[in-house]
Structure 1
Amino acid sequence: MRCTHCGANIPDDQLICPVCGAEVQIVPDYNPLEDVLAREVKGSVAGATRQIQADVVRRQNVSQNQQNRNRQNQRSNPNSTRVLSQAELDKVREERREQLRRQRAQRQRQKTDAKRYQDARQSTENLRRTSTESRRLQQIKKQEAARKKRQKLLTVFFLLILLVGVGIYIGYQNSYTGMIKKGNAALQNSNYTSAENYFNRAIIKDKSKAEAYTGLANIYVAQDDLDSAESVYLNALETQPSNVNLYKAAVKFYEKTEQPNKISDLLQDCEDKNVLSAMNDYVSSAPEFSLKEGTYDEVQQVTLTSATGGTIYYTTDGSDPTESSTEYKEAVLLQSEGDTEIRAIAVNKKGIPSAVSSAKYSIEFPLVDAPAVSPSTGQYSTATQITITVPDGYTAYYTMDGSTPTASSEKYTDPIDMPENSQTTFSAILVNDKNGKATEATTRNYITTY
């Protein structure tokens, strides 16, 4: 068959023109032979049913002659029209029938192919829909399975959280922190026995932490028993001399109870460098004395210094110094004979007083021998003067009636005339101008005869 658009031949098994690509329209082609055959069949039927007459035969002969001419003309001119013979008509009819059969077969094939294509397309669509539905159902199943799995996981997770929470709660209640919290709550309610029990349990769990010791000390503080509170820290430090936290807790206790003077006593006994470094702000070194303790025979000066600096206060009467005592600004002068004890403290920048340091000194000025008196004991017949040798730093005193002289006796200034025609007992002493001590007395007996 031919394409209605471009006229190209189209194979019977194709529905699309291979040249222009136009779709084949399956419409029966018009054939003028069909009209001729229809008329011939109609004329044949009519002729068979009517009576043959002479003129009909004549016309038939004429027609036969005409047909012969037509055949001749047909041979010479194939495009000319002629009347077909019965055999030719049958042949045309048979060819037409064959053409119609082929066309019907082709249409049937086309329908079959179209049906197959439609079925295949529908099958593909159904398969796609089935696959899509299957995937959707599978996805839904997966989502449902995932949802159930999430629910299970969430349930397990929440159960684990609950169990962990319960475990943590129980663990916390029995932990060091839990014991401290319970102890403080009991202490706040003045339930001292329970508080002490909780704090002791906390110490058993961890003796290195200071909170439990502070709790125990607070129990005693609440009952105005500062000595017992202090002993809590001191006893703990005996077994843990390097525990910085315990030292800090003890220092806070002394500050809270207004006992800063005990801080230095506490740190003075510490030998751990790490502790002293951590508590450096609270360390206040006791003053040191430039003069060693002992006895001296002349006036002395004593200088006071502190390794940690601060302000130094001191006393010389043997009492413990405070911040109200004499502030050290210059060397302490020891100019009085006798015993003197200097006691001093140093107060650092945080106001922490040091331990008290002390030193004892004794000043004993040396004494000369009994004064030299001249002339010596004897009898004198001419006027004579009595002389006393007085060294520097001394004053001489004398009597002429035999009594022992004192600082209230006659003061010697110049040589003394020996009494005439008499018997005189002359005694003299020397008194130290610095300490008032008197020497032994020197006695002379004089007899004058002039």
Structure 2
Amino acid sequence: MSEEERRRRNRERARQKARRKKKQKRALLLALFLLLIIAVVGVFAYLTSYIGAVNKGNRALGRNDYTTAEDSFRNALAKDDTRPEAYTGLSKVYQAQDNADKAERLFTSALKKQGENIELYRACIKFYIRSDQKEKIPELLDEADSSISDALPEYIVKTPKFSLDDGEDYDDVQQLKLTAASGCKIYYTKNKKKPTTGSRKYTGPIQIEEGDTTIYAIAVNKAGIPSLPVRKSYTVELPIEDAPAVSPSTGQYSSAQEIEIKVPDGYTAYYTTDKSEPTTSSTKYTGPVEMPEGETIFKAVLVNAKGRVSGITTRNYVLN
């Protein structure tokens, strides 16, 4: 091979090599361009996605830009109204604006349409905890389908147990004991109002006095979540004294006499001397009564602290 031919071949190989490098460079540039397009499309897709909208809302919420935050969370809900993150973010916006009622309506309205959405229930419960409305948790779960409460056992608190059955009449003062699950505290009321953690704390047996008594009680776990309230009513009717003992006996007397009524502890006596039936509006007995001259119909009755009335004792006196 001549020198000229060798140089020609070398030049040809150099040209081919240059063409290959040029093609590789174009391919690389095209690949980079395609990657850039994919990245731009990916970023756009992210920014316009549910998660992108939620994250944008959270960033705006973090800098107290509530208008942007609300718009972003609502945009997320428009894309997917079954996921909890946007509801949580939007509720935080309303809370930050001192509008907890609006935040609550956001959840309750959604739950009416999505009664089997466990994660949405969980988000609502966390809202109640965050807004210090834990007393609404048992009501929320009580109204939900059993599948919801079964899936959220950590928020279920068993109601306290009562040692006495209601619906029965008792003839003596009773001691009512309340018990709850381990680690729970019990709070109760005796005024027919629903108890809260600000009500009287149960520390020992409750004395059920004479009359009608209604006990309302809740159990509260270590997380501060209460049970549903339990209400039981009791009636204690202590045996009433018989008609009071009155002396002297019925009869005719020729000398001055004093009429006495035996009044047991816990009772007040009332009497009349005009044949009328004695009531609490009649004359109150405070000590011996001088027998009037002539014929007198003396009637007496006992009344206990609860207003229960005994039988009436009648004496017919004639003082000459």
- Tell me the TM-score normalised to structure 1 length: 0.54
Distance of aligned partners of 1:443 and 1:154 in 2 relative to their CA distance in 1, 3 Å threshold = same
Aligned residue in 2 for 1:215: 89
Distance 1:180 1:394 in 2: 71
Contact 1:407–1:431 (Cα < 8 Å) also in 2 = no
Contact 2:271–2:301 (Cα < 8 Å) also in 1 = no
CA-to-partner distance for each residue in 1:370-399, whole Å, 9 max, x for gaps? Answer: 458899866699xxxx99999x99979686
Higher relative contact order (CA 8 A, sep 6+): 2
Measured after TM superposition, the shift of residue 285 of structure 1 is 3.2
Q: 1:176 corresponds to which letter in structure 2? A: Y
Aligned residue in 1 for 2:297: 425
Measured after TM superposition, the shift of residue 310 of structure 1 is 0.5
Measured after TM superposition, the shift of residue 401 of structure 1 is 5.2
- Aligned to 1:165, what secondary structure does the other structure show? helix
Aligned residue in 2 for 1:163: 37
Measured after TM superposition, the shift of residue 368 of structure 1 is 6.0
Distance of aligned partners of 1:395 and 1:302 in 2 relative to their CA distance in 1, 3 Å threshold = closer
CA-to-partner distance for each residue in 1:273-316, whole Å, 9 max, x for gaps? Answer: 3x435533333334343444446242334332345750101121
Q: 1:300 corresponds to which letter in structure 2? A: Q
Aligned residue in 2 for 1:408: 285
Selected match of 2:313 from 442, 445, 450: 442
CA-to-partner distance for each residue in 1:160-214, whole Å, 9 max, x for gaps? Answer: 2122112111211211122223334454565545443332221121112112112
Aligned residue in 2 for 1:315: 189
Moved more, 251-260 or 219-228: 251-260
Distance of aligned partners of 1:352 and 1:143 in 2 relative to their CA distance in 1, 3 Å threshold = farther
Measured after TM superposition, the shift of residue 226 of structure 1 is 1.1
Distance of aligned partners of 1:398 and 1:290 in 2 relative to their CA distance in 1, 3 Å threshold = closer
Q: Mapping of 1:290-329 within 5 angstroms?
A: 290-294=163-167, 296-298=169-171, 299-306=173-180, 310-329=184-203
Contact 1:399–1:409 (Cα < 8 Å) also in 2 = no
Selected match of 2:121 from 247, 258, 263: 247
Contact 1:179–1:202 (Cα < 8 Å) also in 2 = yes
CA-to-partner distance for each residue in 1:25-66, whole Å, 9 max, x for gaps? Answer: xxxxxxxxxxxxxxxxxxxxxxxxxxxxxxxxxxxxxxxxxx
Aligned residue in 2 for 1:335: 209
Q: 2:99 corresponds to which letter in structure 1? A: D
- Aligned to 1:208, what secondary structure does the other structure show? coil
Distance of aligned partners of 1:379 and 1:225 in 2 relative to their CA distance in 1, 3 Å threshold = same
Contact 1:398–1:409 (Cα < 8 Å) also in 2 = no
Q: 2:135 corresponds to which letter in structure 1? A: N
Distance of aligned partners of 1:268 and 1:306 in 2 relative to their CA distance in 1, 3 Å threshold = farther
Distance of aligned partners of 1:265 and 1:440 in 2 relative to their CA distance in 1, 3 Å threshold = same
Distance 2:158 2:106 in 1: 25
Contact 2:169–2:236 (Cα < 8 Å) also in 1 = yes
Selected match of 1:281 from 154, 163, 166: 154
Q: 1:437 corresponds to which letter in structure 2? A: R
Distance 1:344 1:399 in 2: 44
Measured after TM superposition, the shift of residue 321 of structure 1 is 3.2
- Aligned to 1:169, what secondary structure does the other structure show? helix
Q: Mapping of 1:85-96 within 5 angstroms?
A: none
Contact 1:406–1:429 (Cα < 8 Å) also in 2 = no
Measured after TM superposition, the shift of residue 227 of structure 1 is 0.6
Distance of aligned partners of 1:150 and 1:286 in 2 relative to their CA distance in 1, 3 Å threshold = farther
Aligned residue in 2 for 1:173: 47
Aligned residue in 2 for 1:351: 224
- Tell me the TM-score normalised to structure 2 length: 0.72
Q: Which has the higher strand share?
A: 2
Contact 1:394–1:430 (Cα < 8 Å) also in 2 = no
Distance of aligned partners of 1:138 and 1:305 in 2 relative to their CA distance in 1, 3 Å threshold = farther
Contact 1:290–1:303 (Cα < 8 Å) also in 2 = yes
Contact 2:244–2:312 (Cα < 8 Å) also in 1 = yes
How much identity, in percent, do the aligned residues show? 40
Aligned residue in 2 for 1:81: none
Q: 1:216 corresponds to which letter in structure 2? A: L
Distance 1:181 1:396 in 2: 76
- Aligned to 2:197, what secondary structure does the other structure show? coil
Asked which structure has the greater CA Rg, the reply is 1
1:360 corresponds to 2:233 = yes
Selected match of 1:229 from 80, 85, 103: 103
Q: Which has the higher helix share?
A: 1
Give the count of matched residue pairs.
Answer: 304
Distance of aligned partners of 1:174 and 1:408 in 2 relative to their CA distance in 1, 3 Å threshold = same
Distance 2:170 2:146 in 1: 43
Distance 2:17 2:144 in 1: 71
Distance 1:272 1:144 in 2: 75
- Aligned to 2:132, what secondary structure does the other structure show? coil
Alignment RMSD: 4.5
Measured after TM superposition, the shift of residue 324 of structure 1 is 4.3
Distance of aligned partners of 1:442 and 1:394 in 2 relative to their CA distance in 1, 3 Å threshold = farther
User: Which consecutive unaligned segments of at least 5 residues does structure 1 have?
Assistant: 1-125, 412-418
User: Which consecutive unaligned segments of at least 5 residues does structure 2 have?
Assistant: none
